[in-house]
Amino acid sequence: PSRTFHGNNRLLTSQIISYYESINQGKKELPEYFNFASDVLDEWAQLEKDGRKPANPAFWWVNDEGQEVKWSFQELGSLSRKAANVLSEACGLQRGDRVVAVLPRVPEWWLLNVACMRAGIVLIPGTSQLTAKDISYRLQASKAKCIITNDTLAPAVESVLPGSQFLRSKLIVGQASRDGWLNLKELL
């Protein structure tokens, strides 16, 4: 049995647990490599594209002012591939490299999560309430090669950058450009 959400059948928790139990009991084969972005998101995008799945939002964000951002699975897949290219090419990151993201929960936060999964980059999320000391500690302890933040939080981040020996690139999420920072929106 499954419940319907906008015409789609979704697995119930009991079905998901049953699936994982069957893997543990050796009844289903566990893939050697798994990437959520390509193995799940791209599969759903293909089903959507082929008309075998109705177009429902893969992502739906609404802020306090009522502004919305909706992405289908195809759109999220395409945007996450572009964002993964930004991280790999413009920021020079490789599989296994670490990125610290100090962002409020804006759409780009989720986009960068999926992009990091897609590229094999380790995302270290940080809340927008971090102090400069907190940011400095996270950069040094993680040996992050890139930091991502927005216009509002950039001054706190910049105050600790001189002591960040591993950092190679800085990516800003926002409309404005900032000296020495790559702008995600421009690069996308």
pLDDT given at position 177: 85
Find out if CATH 3.30.420.40 is the number for domain 59-186.
Answer: no
pLDDT tens readout for residues 141-170: 999 999 999 999 999 899 998 888 899 999
pLDDT given at position 2: 40
pLDDT given at position 8: 47
* DSSP classification of residue 162: G
pLDDT given at position 26: 72
E strands along 86-142, which residues?
98-102, 122-126
Closest residue by Cα to residue 144 from 163, 127, 116, 122: 122
Question: Number of helices (H) and strands (E), helices first, in the chain?
Answer: 8, 9
Question: Could you give the CA distance from residue 13 to residue 15 in angstroms, rounded to a whole number?
Answer: 5
Which portions of the chain are predicted below pLDDT 70?
A: 1-17, 19-20, 23, 27-30
